[in-house]
Amino acid sequence: MTRWYHPHPLISAALVIVGPVSAEAAVYLSVGDAQQAIFPGESFERLEVELSEAQAAAVRKASGMRVRERELHLWRASGGGFFFVDRVLGKHEFITYALGVDASGRVKGVEILEYRESYGHEIRNEAWRRQFKGKDSEAPLTLDQDIRNISGATLSCRHVTDGVKRLLDTHAILFGPPA
Amino acid sequence: MRSSSAPLPETSPAPAGGTRGAGREVARARPLLGTFVEIRAAGGPRDRLLEAIDQAFEAVARVHRLMNAHDGSSELRRLEHAPLDEPIAVDPWTWAVLAEARRLFEASGGLFDPAAAVPVSGRAQGSAGSLDDLVLEPDHRVRLGRRLRLDLSGIAKGFAVDRAVEVLAARGLDDVVVNAGGDLRLGCARGETIFVRHPTDSGRGALRLELAPGAALASSSPVFHRRDRPRRRLHLVDPRGRRAVDHGQGATVIASRCDLADALTKVVLLDPLAGARLAAAEGAAAFLLDPSGSVRLLEPAPMKAVP
């Protein structure tokens, strides 16, 4: 183990470490916060929507992506837009994100709600679902541990951008193509 | 000098986020620049922090729109089809990145070269030009001497981080961190602990740094393997042989600006000694991480006495 104090004005101390870095986890916004971040000042009505087999197949065909869950987490904003909460599972990352679609069917905003490197850890479906039930939507999401600043091996956001495309195709199939 | 700081306990966990200073910290993340850009800010009412972070993300999104090498509609890609040998007006931010890239191209003897083209399968693709074929002119104009395939991903991400920190500072927020997939900068009222991953095994750590307030840090590793699913990813071209770099080393640079730290990692990976010299000249510190797990702080070689 090497440790030294670095005589550089930008570094207070440096330490060579060995062994694993714990799984990275970060919680950003609650569902309610993300709604206000994307559609400030608007109110939201939860829509109970489950894609039919045919609709799921149509989304799969349009987006080229698998539809893991047919039950949607979807709200209608008072200004005519729609707000989705979805999650994507990359190789190791489990990412919950929100997508706002404006009244003309275009992306209004994307916010990451929670990021978790799973590395095979159990994905707690029940906890994830519970936060969408009634008042719980304002509650902060669960957080296990916290190593906030990791550098090196930049993570790709491709799974999220793929997910956004799948939700836009879902939106078009449910509510018609963009104006 | 901060070398007199208190010793680090070797076993303590990283400080958890959450509360800082007077109020709670607000953290948001968006998919931008091909990765996750995270902005954390404290030291103000929640609404004010959320709004300021919005503005900071807008600055990052602007860099993304202008300089995305993978989007044919970006200004950078449109430059590929611009007429040769005549001045072309570009966005002031694109101009600023190109000007800094050109400065570092010259300072590194051509090692930092965003015109050395994009590796697809280990072999450099595209033109055989270099940044020498790009001339910066006044009034945010550039002149191209030949067709170039420019990839600013080695500097634009850091530039975006710098602009985001500036936006926050202009709103009086200095207790902030902007982190674009591991290239990050601290506001001038915040120090942070940074973990740097092992260059070829992202499940392991290699280096832990206590950054002083205001510092920027960037890391780069041309080859990287996930622990349980090895996969090679090459993204750095050596302009001297126009081959993708595939050694397993990693570079981490700490500098006063993130664009500089970002660009210097590439020079360090291509030539550690040249990188160390340039880092020292730019007031930066550079670490080289070996696949064995060893970490070296690069010091420029002592100058030979001239008789």
Q: Give the number of beta-carbon pairs within 8 Å between A and B.
A: 190
Which residue would you say has higher pLDDT here, A55 or A142? A55
Rounded Cα gap, residues B146 and B128, in angstroms: 10
**pLDDT at residue B186 tops 80:** yes
Closest A-chain CA to B1: A9
Q: Residue written as tokens 């001038």?
A: B188
- ipTM (interface pTM): 0.79
Helix ranges (DSSP H) in chain B: 46-67, 75-79, 92-107, 156-170, 258-270, 272-281
Q: Which of A3, A21, A111, A159 to mutate to test the interface with B (most CBs of B within 10 A)?
A: A21
Q: Is pLDDT of A1 > 70?
A: no
Q: E strands, B198-302, where? A: 205-211, 216-220, 237-238, 243-244, 250-255, 285-289, 295-298
B294 and A16 in contact by Cβ < 8 A?
yes
Angle at A23 (CA atoms; ends B227, B180), nearest 5 degrees: 90
Tokens of B293: 């797990």
Average the pLDDT over B85-114 and give the result.
Answer: 96
Q: Inform me whether the pLDDT recorded for B62 exceeds 60.
A: yes
Q: Is B92 on the interface with A (CB under 8 A)?
A: no
Q: Take residue A173 and report the two structure tokens written for it.
A: 């199939």
- Which residue in the set A14, A27, A111 is minimally distant from B207, CB to CB? A14
Chain A CB within 8 Å of residue B246 CB = no
pLDDT tens per residue, range A29-75: 999 999 999 999 999 999 999 999 999 999 999 999 999 889 999 99
pLDDT of A159 reads 86
pLDDT of residue A119: 45
Bridge partner residues of B115 (DSSP): none
DSSP secondary structure, A124-156, as one string? -HHHHHHTTSGGGGGSPPP-------EESSPPP
Average pLDDT of chain B? 84
B14 lies within 8 A of chain A by CB = yes
- How close is the nearest chain B Cα to the Cα of A143, in Å? 11
**Chain A residues 114-143 with a CB less than 8 Å from chain B:** 115, 119
CA distance B192 to B212: 7
Per-residue DSSP letter, A78 = T
What per-residue confidence (pLDDT) applies to B83? 93
Tell me the C-alpha to C-alpha distance, in Å, between residue B200 and each of A48, A153, B265, B269, B291.
Answer: 45, 8, 16, 14, 6
Residues A146, B14: C-beta atoms closer than 8 Å: yes
Q: Which of A94, A149, A162 to mutate to test the interface with B (most CBs of B within 10 A)?
A: A149
How close B107 comes to chain A (CA, Å)?
A: 22
> How far is it, in rounded angstroms, from Cα B59 to Cα B163?
6
Q: pLDDT by residue (tens digit) across B240-267?
A: 877 777 788 899 999 999 999 999 999 9
For chain B, give the number of residues: 307
How close A157 comes to chain B (CA, Å)? 5
User: pTM here?
Assistant: 0.84
Q: Is B8 on the interface with A (CB under 8 A)?
A: yes
